[in-house]
């Protein structure tokens, strides 16, 4: 399922349902959300929970960003990110695992991030409870995947979401993180840049496709969950001129088995097939070096 940004009214109405679906189906590296989608999900959960009580009037210990909250400590962050701000999203491989968020605090429609200082960030951690509210996280969990996003901005205000955008300057992934009483420590050098897994690429005939030069993943997901019907995967990413060329080089390499089917003003369409399925991919180049790969797998 692809998560899309909705209007404030729509988020208020469907937030809890989207969150429940996301959690039930297991959210891990295979179902990444874009930065705005994740922030939107956090906000819509808070808004949905306000039906019975104001979600902003949490227990004082929970809202303080300290107290009960476990802390994720990120060490060894490159010096160029000092003074920038970080937010975390976390998922476990166990379907019963609750989604995690790492941020300073929330107030109304505003979410505040954590400032990086001296190559380190101490991020209060929150978990999604059964009422689809974020509360202080104090759990003991293994094999947690954490997605770290760094921004120039210190907060995000959903009341001005139509005119206020975030400047994402880095995203980073830590895998198999272990939490004790809600606390964990990771070192930047042990993480990696975010991209689609080899397993997911192979499913759509893209085995061996490297991360495009300079690409920064913004979102990916599927539009079908049926094994017997056509299944699609959409990948959106940012980059520069070399990013486009590296993608084209992959498809133009005859060893990868792709053939150019057609092209138009913004896209090139490639196809291939094997004994299991037929594959079709559209590579789209938009303005400002925004790109998309739209892949479809049709089983035989």
Residue 80 has pLDDT above 70, yes or no: yes
What integer pLDDT is reported at residue 296 of this predicted model? 95
* pLDDT band of 220, cuts 50, 70, 90: confident
| N residues, the chain | 300
Task: Give residues with Cβ within 8 angstroms of 45, minimum separation 6.
Answer: 15, 16, 19, 55, 128, 132, 133, 134
Residue 288 DSSP class? G
Residue 29 CA to residue 147 CA, distance in Å, equals 9
What integer pLDDT is reported at residue 259 of this predicted model? 97
Digit-coded pLDDT (tens) for 128-156: 888 877 899 999 998 899 989 898 889 88
- Assess contact for 258 and 271: CB atoms under 8 A: yes
Residue 122 has pLDDT above 80, yes or no: yes
Residue 12 has pLDDT above 60, yes or no: no
Digit-coded pLDDT (tens) for 101-115: 889 988 877 889 999
Compute, in degrees rounded to 10, the torsion defined by CA atoms 143, 58, 11, 34: -30
Q: Model pTM?
A: 0.60
Cα end-to-end span (Å), the chain? 23
Residue 228 CA to residue 242 CA, distance in Å, equals 37
Residue 41 phi, psi dihedral angles, 5° rounding = -65, -45
The whole-angstrom distance between residue 128's C-alpha and the CA centroid of its chain comes to 16
Task: Give residues with Cβ within 8 angstroms of 109, minimum separation 6.
Answer: 8, 43, 157, 158, 159
What integer pLDDT is reported at residue 280 of this predicted model? 97
Residue 18 has pLDDT above 70, yes or no: no
- Assess contact for 70 and 179: CB atoms under 8 A: yes
Digit-coded pLDDT (tens) for 187-216: 999 998 888 888 889 999 999 999 898 888
What integer pLDDT is reported at residue 286 of this predicted model? 94
User: Which of 54, 43, 56, 53 shows the shortest CA–CA distance to 16?
Assistant: 43
pLDDT: which is higher, 252 or 162: 252
């Amino acid at each position: 399922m692809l998560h899309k940004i909705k209007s404030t009214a729509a988020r208020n109405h469907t937030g809890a349902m989207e969150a429940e679906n996301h959690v039930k189906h297991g959210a891990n590296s295979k179902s990444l959300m874009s930065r705005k989608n994740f922030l939107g999900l956090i906000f819509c959960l808070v808004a949905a929970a306000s039906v019975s009580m104001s979600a902003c009037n949490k227990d004082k210990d929970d809202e303080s960003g300290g107290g009960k909250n476990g802390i994720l400590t990120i060490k060894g962050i490159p010096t160029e990110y000092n003074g920038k701000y970080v937010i975390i999203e976390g998922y476990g491989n166990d379907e019963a695992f609750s989604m995690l968020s790492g941020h300073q605090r929330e107030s109304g429609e505003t979410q505040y991030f954590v400032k990086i200082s001296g190559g380190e960030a101490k991020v209060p951690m929150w978990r999604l409870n059964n009422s689809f509210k974020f509360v202080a996280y104090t759990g003991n969990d293994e094999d947690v995947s954490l997605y770290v996003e760094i921004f120039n901005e210190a907060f995000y205000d959903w009341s001005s979401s139509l005119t206020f955008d975030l400047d994402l300057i880095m995203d980073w992934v830590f895998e198999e993180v272990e939490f004790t009483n809600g606390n964990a420590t990771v070192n930047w050098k042990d993480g990696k840049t975010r991209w689609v897994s080899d397993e997911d690429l192979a499913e759509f005939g893209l085995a061996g496709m490297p991360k495009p030069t300079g690409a920064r993943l913004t979102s990916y997901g599927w539009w079908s969950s049926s094994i017997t019907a056509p299944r699609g995967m959409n990948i959106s990413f940012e980059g520069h001129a070399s990013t486009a060329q590296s993608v084209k080089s992959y498809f133009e390499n005859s060893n990868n088995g792709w053939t150019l089917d057609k092209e138009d003003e913004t896209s090139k369409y490639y196809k291939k097939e094997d004994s299991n399925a037929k594959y079709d991919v559209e590579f789209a180049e938009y303005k400002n070096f925004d790109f998309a790969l739209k892949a479809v797998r049709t089983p035989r």
